Amino acid sequence: MEALQKKAKALLENGTVKVVIGFAAGTDAQTARPLFARTPEQAGKLIWGESCKQNLATYLLKPEVKALGKAAVVGRVTTARTVMQYAAENQIADDAAVLLIVSDDGQITELAKFADLEVYLAKVPRGLSPEAQKEIERLQAMPLEQRWAFWSAEMSRCIKCYACRAACPMCYCARCITEVNQPQWIPVATDPLGNLEWNIVRAMHLAGRCVDCGSCSDACPQGIRLDLLNRVLAQEVLTSFGGEAGYSTRKEYALSTFKPDDKEEFIR
């Protein structure tokens, strides 16, 4: 924690960044909250720990935060992957933000250039957390009807607050499909159809773009494991098309890339 504060203070003092986006203590011991440190004193409030889960790269695209000036963001590997994916989708310029990536053993790596991010990410281990892997295997082992019943029950708790969308760094559409209301594409009601449509549309739009941060399910007030949908789709994209989001600045979005030499004949 001290090393993180020291690094943040130095970045603010030498003028590299105007704001360090990290975590401060929250309302209770299990809760951390985003901190926007603009002075070295404020950087003294930075903390790091189990409760610091949110993917703060989300804020890099928020107008009020952009207005503060160049930012440093505290995070994990998934935060770095977010910036890489932003780069691939032309949402951020090279060297426009500094990343302070904290590893599991507390080492802090400072990265800003896309090229350095690519090198760093090439070395980190890939794959799902054992918990997510186990849960996905449990669900995939279910007969179709049982899996449908599981997801129907999960989705029935959805209150359409869109906290998943708001917390998701890749849900940055200025006008989300739910906001296209002439005509209304996605039903507003939280009935079974409306909930299913929203959550499926979101999962599909993130297929091959999700960076595996889990902020969607952390944000969900009803504890729906939306991350599992995204993680399975990421695996599907990897298996079928070979791409993983957030490891390079090359745009390899499986669902919108067309190649004249595609192996499938129907698309040519």
Q: Which residues, numbered 138-177, are part of the site for another protein (CB under 8 A)?
A: 157, 159-163, 165-167
Cβ-Cβ contacts under 8 Å for 125 (sequence gap 6 or more): none
Q: Which is nearer to another protein, 168 or 237 (CB)?
A: 168
Contact range with another protein by CB under 8 A, out of 116-124, 132-140, 180-188, 230-238: 180-188
Q: Does position 188 bind another protein by CB under 8 A?
A: yes
Q: Does position 190 bind another protein by CB under 8 A?
A: yes
Q: Does position 50 bind another protein by CB under 8 A?
A: no
Per DSSP bridges, beta strands 97-102 and 19-25 are unpaired
Q: Does position 184 bind another protein by CB under 8 A?
A: yes
Interface pick for another protein out of 8, 43, 219, 245 (rule CB under 8 A): 219
Q: Does position 222 bind another protein by CB under 8 A?
A: yes
Binding mask 1-40 for another protein (x = CB under 8 A): -------------------------xxx--xxxx-x----
Q: How far is the CB of 67 from another protein (least distance, A)?
A: 9
Q: How far is the CB of 263 from another protein (least distance, A)?
A: 40
Q: How far is the CB of 72 from another protein (least distance, A)?
A: 15
**CB of 70 within 8 A of CB of 18?**
yes
Phi, psi (deg, nearest 5) at residue 47: -125, 165
Residues that bind another protein (rule: CB under 8 A) add up to a total of 38
Q: How far is the CB of 145 from another protein (least distance, A)?
A: 21
Contact range with another protein by CB under 8 A, out of 58-66, 114-122, 138-146, 259-267: 58-66
Q: Does position 54 bind another protein by CB under 8 A?
A: yes
Interface residue list for another protein (CB under 8 A): 26-28, 31-34, 36, 54, 58-59, 62-65, 157, 159-163, 165-167, 179, 181, 184, 187-191, 215, 218-219, 221-223
